[in-house]
Structure 1
Amino acid sequence: MTRNHPPKHSLRVVIKEFHMPPIRDGVILGRESPIGCEAFRRALELLVVTPFEHIELEDEVVADILVRRAILRRLSRDCLTAFVLDRIKPLMGPEEILHLDLHAELLIEEETL
């Protein structure tokens, strides 16, 4: 003897705040990425008021870095570029777009106080 049981339904929802833009601190665009730097910059300008700086590179893998201007007040363009080329470039392909979540800390010491 079989009983017909109605199906049970369950719904689990996790709600989080949507952040605009989905880019917090910066992005690295590969040389063959599906969207170019200019289009990406225009999209950012439409989505946020936070200014981003463009760093163009002459490299076979990495084409551009877009980074929040505030980051460049703590870290020089040259330092960021060297870090990207030394540490991130070996991990990416030219078709990729990588998101940067940067934590630039600056230690300031004064001995004359």
Structure 2
Amino acid sequence: MQEYKEGSKKIEINIRISEFEVPPIQDVLVVGKKAPIGPEAARRMVDVLSPDQYDILKIEHPFIEAVIIRKALCRIISPEKIIKIIIEESEKIMDEDMLIKMQLDISLQISKVIDL
């Protein structure tokens, strides 16, 4: 009988950031506090094109009001971890008047060691 030993798990995240465009269908939409479209209006817009595919996460931040994120991403990585990365990168380039969309490419790397 073979015995399995846990190895390591790593997740690599690549993020592409660009200005908001219509339609806003990407993985993430970051909404500034004074953006021309608020989080609820943005949600209704994405729900028309992709019903029940996104969650709105309200953010306590000086100039970011909310993050609209594809639900499938939060099944791969906890929302807390992914939001931390999104906010960290967003605040480097945006201000309270902006909406930015992000595309996240997530790859899961799993390594295990077994006895032969």
Scaled by the length of structure 1, what TM-score is found? 0.73
> Residues of 2 paired with 1:75 and 1:21: CA distance?
25
Which residues of structure 2 form unaligned runs of 5+? Answer: 1-21
| Shift, 1:22, TM fit | 3.7
The count of corresponding residues between Structure 1 and Structure 2 is: 94
Query: In structure 1, which of residues 24, 36, 39 is the aligned counterpart of residue 38 of structure 2?
Result: 36
Cα separation, partners in 2 of 1:47 and 1:109, compared to 1, 3 Å:
same
Pairwise mapping of residues 1-113 of structure 1 onto structure 2 (< 5 A)? 21-49=23-51, 51-112=53-114
Runs of 4+ in 1 over 4 A off after TM superposition: none
Q: Once the two structures are superposed, what CA deviation does each residue of 1:7-33 show, in whole Å capped at 9, x if it has no partner?
A: xxxxxxxxxxxxx84422110001110
The structure with the largest strand share of the pair is 2
Higher RCO (C-alpha 8 Å, min separation 6)? 2
SS of match in other structure, 1:105? strand
| Shift, 1:112, TM fit | 4.3
Identity %: 23
| Shift, 1:50, TM fit | 5.4
In structure 1, the residue matched to 2:10 is none
Q: RMSD across aligned C-alpha pairs, in angstroms?
A: 1.9
| 8 Å contact from structure 2 (residues 24, 46) kept in 1 | no
